[in-house]
Chain A
Amino acid sequence: MADFSPDIRAFCCHYTAQQLCAEGVEQRRQDGLPDNVVIHRVPCTGKLMVSTLLAAFEDGADGVYVVGCPEDRCHNLMGSRRAAKRVGAVRAALAELAVEPERIAMFHLERGFHPEFVQAAQEMVSRVAALGPSPFKGGSR
């Protein structure tokens, strides 16, 4: 499993992601954003549904995370708090299925592409790499 490169899906709100999109792929790479993180931009993380997060796992993700605004300074007031609740619901469901809840996480970050954003991505990659491939992928164990 040493060369296992996890498939990570990140869902970021427009406000967190806009700058990142402006950076362009090369710049992002130079800044240290891992290549195996696929970023999905949503208008507001509060718009994310539990089923969307689960669908990412069904689609083969090894790990999923959501990046929204700081809890008390969400651009859309309550969006990132709602998202955190839904991430919590998925964590609970993973636990019920005896799958590591750490495969999904919520990060509350300031807007824009900055070191903390890159750190969150790196953290998820190393965390999920240590867990190994998603147990939902038939035959991967």
Chain B
Amino acid sequence: MIIAQRKPIPEILGMVAPYRRVLLLGCRGCVSVCSAGGDREVEILASLLRLGRQKAGQELAVVEAALVRQCDREYVESVDRWDGQYDAILSMACGVGVNFLANLLPMTPVYPAVNTTFYGGSAEQGVWTEQCAGCGNCILHLTGGLCPMARCAKSLQNGPCGGSVGGRCEIHPSVPCIWQLIHDRLERLGRKEQLLAIAPIRDWSAAGHAGPRTLVRDDLTL
């Protein structure tokens, strides 16, 4: 899922400083699973924003709400139901959600309340780790299911680099060298020879380096 983290409260207070009424809009998708922007976090942030304003001797009216998803037009359109009740929207969804709101509401100020960080998984309660970088051309079948694009500090497709020491990454010694893990895993699986194949230079256009990507599924369009 997409992992996000709430921005510092003073930064958020700064964004909404010009407004008296804010629609604080959570998302029940990824950001609720990673405890950054679901219903509960909306409640907490609303309280903190009111307290922050109160401290400055001002008031802030916060309409608290959450959509099933903010990355889906179908749900985002339902934002109409709060029409006229706010001066700006503060979205607790990932950047996708904020963009979707901004696309749809040309005259409404929309602000992000979280920093969208990576595609990750929950390793243990309260700990999330990056697992995929959304590169658009998956090579996990060649790497034993472990992603060097996301998990190698240098995104090497042919690794390891010369810096791996004792199975640790030279950039962050706290992190295992993913190429070491790939080697070890392929060896265990009896597929070590797979490492002899040289991965060709990657076409990065699929990774978004040629501008925003669009996916069309003819079987699904109406």
| B130 interface hit (Cβ, 8 Å) | no
| Measured CA separation A53–B27 after assembly (Å) | 23
Contact present for A50 and B10 (CB under 8 Å): no
Contact A54 B10 (CB under 8 A): no
- Taking A51-B40, A93-B9 as contacts, is the C-beta distance between A58 and B57 under 8 angstroms? no
Q: Which of B40, B44, B55 contacts A97 (CB 8 A)?
A: B55
Give the size range of A's interface with the partner: 10 to 19
* Distance between A97 CB and nearest chain B CB, rounded to angstroms: 5
> Is B168 located at the chain interface by the 8 A CB criterion?
no
- The number of inter-chain residue pairs (CB within 8 angstroms) is 42
Q: Are A58 and B47 in contact (CB under 8 A)?
A: yes
A29-87 contacts to B (CB < 8 Å): 49-51, 54-55, 57-58
Question: A96, B9: Cβ atoms under 8 Å?
Answer: yes
Closest to A96 in B: B9
Does more than half of chain B's interface fall in helix, strand or loop, or is it mixed?
helix
Query: Which residues of A have CB within 8 Å of B48?
Result: 54, 93, 96-97
Partner of B43, one of A51, A99, A136: A51
- B40 and A49 contact, CB distance less than 8 A: yes
* B104 interfacial by beta-carbon distance below 8 Å: no
State A138–B57 Cα separation when bound (angstroms): 5
B-side interface residues, number (CB < 8 Å)? 14
A31 to B52, CA, bound (A): 37
Interface residues, chain B, CB within 8 Å of chain A? 8-10, 40, 43-44, 47-48, 50-52, 54-55, 57
Give 19 A-B pairs besides A58-B54, A97-B10 with Cβ atoms closer than 8 angstroms: A51-B40, A51-B43, A51-B47, A54-B47, A54-B51, A57-B47, A58-B50, A93-B44, A93-B48, A96-B10, A97-B9, A97-B51, A97-B52, A97-B55, A98-B55, A135-B55, A136-B51, A136-B55, A137-B54
